Structure 1
Amino acid sequence: MIPIQHYLLVAALLFCIGLAIVVTKRHFIGILLGIELMLNAVNINLVAFGRHDPERLTGQLFALFVIVVAAAEVTVALAIILRVYGRYKTVDPDEVSDLKQ
């Protein structure tokens, strides 16, 4: 059995990589990918802690809920990105100066 520290280390590394991507990327798609990496790190933590209580499936259920929320978030975010690109012809968040039409 793999100790929980290994899961937590991988999740922390994945979360830090996602956070670095969110902070440094200049495109909406890159920022969205960083957020997805951070949500996957949360899922790893939930499943890792869920393994230590095999009688309850709370960790796995919360991970499933996070996956559903992430799918909805990606759908809404991509719709917003397509709308912003259609109006401003760019996906650079710094070049989008106003949100009024």
Structure 2
Amino acid sequence: MNPLVFYQTVALLLLGLGLYALVARRTLVGMLIGVELMLNGAGLSIVAAAQLTSADAVLGQLGALLVMGLAAAEATLVLAIVLVVSKRFGDASADAPSELKG
């Protein structure tokens, strides 16, 4: 098996697991873990494609750093939202903010 195909398959598996976790989990922290898995799959795919093809490896590393920075910023914002939701509603489930209508 070609190494690029192996890495892309692992990245696709991470993407699928992240999508499943995002859909199946009802807590905000579980959904955050799903999004992080998806972003890790994207970073792995970018680095593998840059290293194992004729593309410039530096661009792949810069792309992976961009994905990592995006993941860190997203995690910070989501954890702040989880903190506010859990403080206000006493529960960190995704259904709690939908009760804001009243």
TM-score by length of 1: 0.90
- 1:90 is aligned to 91
Counterpart residue number, 2:9: 9
> Which structure 2 residues correspond to residues 61-80 of structure 1 after superposition, within 5 A?
61-80=62-81
Q: Write out per-residue CA displacement over residues 11-38 of structure 1, whole angstroms, 9 at most, x where no aligned residue.
A: 0011100000000001000000000000
2:97 alignment partner, SS class: coil
Determine the C-alpha separation between the residues in 1 that align with 2:85 and 2:72. Answer: 20
- Rounded to whole Å, the distance in 2 between the matches of 1:54 and 1:12 is 21
How many pairs align? 100
The worse-fitting range, judged by mean Cα deviation, of 46-55 and 9-18 is: 46-55
Aligned equivalents of 2:89 and 2:50: distance in 1? Answer: 45
Q: Cα 1:50–1:87, aligned 2, differ >3 Å: closer, same or farther?
A: same
Question: Following TM superposition, where does structure 1 have runs of at least 4 consecutive aligned residues deviating by more than 2 angstroms?
Answer: 53-56, 95-101
Q: Give the partner amino acid of 2:97.
A: V
CA offsets per residue over residues 27-80 of structure 1, 9 Å max, x none? 000000000000000001000111023644111101001101110110111011
Superposition deviation, residue 93 in structure 1: 0.8
Q: Whose helix fraction is larger, Structure 1's or Structure 2's?
A: 2
Q: Name structure 1 gaps, 5 residues minimum.
A: none
* SS in structure 2 of the partner of residue 7 of structure 1: helix
Q: CA RMSD in A?
A: 1.8
CA distance in 2, matches of 1:38, 1:18: 5
Q: TM-score, normalised by structure 2?
A: 0.89
Q: Which runs of 5+ in 2 are unaligned?
A: none
